[in-house]
Amino acid sequence: MAAKLLVSLKVLVIQLNPQIGQVDQTIKRTWSILEKVTKSATYVKPDIILFPEFSLTGYNFHSRKDILPYVARESEGPSFQLARSISKKFQCYTVIGYPENADEQKLYNSTLVMSPRGEQVFNYRKTFLYDTEVNWNCDENPEGFQTFPMSFSKCAKLPNEDSFTRDVTLKTSIGICMDLSPYKFKAPFNHFEFSSFCVDNNVELILCPMAWLNSTSITDKQTLHNDSMLEAAKDKIALNLREQGLPLAGSQGLYQLKIGDSQHTHRVSSDDSSSEYKHMDEPDMSNVNYWILRFFPFLSYKSRAIWFRNSSLLENILGKSKMPPDHEYYKNGRHKEDTMDFSNSKEIMEDTLAEKTFLGASLKQSWKFEGKNAVLVVANRCGVEDGSTIFAGSSGIYKFNGSQPKNSEIDEDSRLDSLNESVELLGNLGKGLEGAILREVQFEVSR
């Protein structure tokens, strides 16, 4: 029988409002946030520090020409340098999003992983791209979603041991913002591509650097292409920012710090959560609820067992690709499950199918994740770009506990938002302030 290991991970998330053309200023503010974090009375040394997508450069680049001054080769550039200094100083992993030029032609939206020794150990490229990336011809990650190992020393113990003196290697995945959404917003919502990938592959740590929008942003194509409509919409945003006492770029330099306290995020149903851009120090619960929903395969949901009582229905669905066939990944024919040749050996096919899930259900178990744990860390940027794009901040740390609610009727556990108790909301920053949140997360893995 597999042994249970109890893991204790100290996770620090940095929330920033980087504006295009202000790399140095953003680095300065990062160091002052870190300094304040370490001076906090409840500070403990983090094992991992997560930054947002395009943390230092700003996000809304309109053309290739605009972004070129900010791109960097893997293992070069300001994001790499900053991550290396931070990792060495704190002796922890640093994970940070940056625009990468892989060669003369190819640009990616990437995230680098720096080890506690200051060595780059992984580089993930965004797989599903958002509209903005199309403006500068960003390439899709040809590898698709990926897993990689992160090794933490003295972060684990057996249940009967007193202190965390064992090392542990966690199976990790990075999802950059749009990776959490349906491919091109066109794939069926219930395919949950990224979170299904994570459940299928038994991922234990999920890191999400993001530049996710607050829904009062101007994204409607008609408005964006009509000058007078666009001006009117921007005026409305400017007025709201003035009312909040904020400049057009949103708040910078006023830090919210939630360091090592145990304050959990208050659960609010998706029906009651508003997305208005007010109360900068409170999370955008409408987005928090949406992110939780996008992790449906990790959430308890009793009806799953009823839907898939007929296993041939599930077998039929699992035999087909869930992933978008027009993605680079499939064109190259690399994806072993989804390009599976059905004339292959029956055992290989059965083994592969057994690991796959649809809506969290596998052929072996009505909820594959049941009884397991996983940690989700979201680092989302805040602030406003172009007077039209408002980012949602609300960076947070979550634990999926893999538990079914006890003694509840089906109706009571059909919540697919923050009211679902199989997700623990360990804390979130507000929607509109820069700052940091540090939490110790304890969870189980089997080894």
Among 11, 48, 114, 177, the residue binding ligand GLN under the rule CB under 6 A is 177
Among 55, 141, 181, 195, the residue binding ligand GLN under the rule CB under 6 A is 181
Where is 288: in which H helix or E strand? helix 285-294
Q: Phi/psi of residue 397, each to 5°? A: -125, 130
**What would you measure as the largest C-alpha separation in the chain, in angstroms?**
67
Q: Is 178 in the site for ligand GLN (CB under 6 A)?
A: yes
Smallest gap from Cβ 416 to ligand GLN, in A, equals: 18
Q: How many residues bind ligand GLN (CB under 6 A)?
A: 8
Task: Convert residues 19-58 into a mask of x (bound to ligand GLN by CB under 6 A) and - (unbound).
Answer: ----------------------------------x-----
Nearest CA to 192 out of 183, 201, 204, 205 is that of 183
Distance (Å, whole) CA 198 – CA 207: 11
Neighbours of 64 (CB within 10 A): 13
Task: Convert residues 120-139 into a mask of x (bound to ligand GLN by CB under 6 A) and - (unbound).
Answer: ----------x---------
Distance of CA 31 to the CA centre of its chain: 23
The nearer residue to ligand GLN, 181 or 422, going by C-beta atoms, is 181
| Cβ 70 vs Cβ 107: under 8 Å | no
Where is 131: in which H helix or E strand? helix 131-134
Beta strand pairing call for 48-50 and 4-15 = parallel
Among 203, 211, 323, 429, the residue binding ligand GLN under the rule CB under 6 A is 211
Binding span for ligand GLN by CB under 6 A among 176-184, 196-204, 270-278, 439-447: 176-184
Catalytic residues: 53, 126, 177
Q: How far is CA 207 from CA 93, 266, 365, in A?
A: 12, 22, 26
Binding span for ligand GLN by CB under 6 A among 3-11, 88-96, 206-214, 295-303: 206-214
Smallest gap from Cβ 178 to ligand GLN, in A, equals: 3
Q: Is 213 in the site for ligand GLN (CB under 6 A)?
A: yes
The nearer residue to ligand GLN, 113 or 213, going by C-beta atoms, is 213
| Cβ 179 vs Cβ 169: under 8 Å | no
Residues of this chain that bind ligand GLN (CB under 6 A): 53, 130, 177-178, 181, 211-213
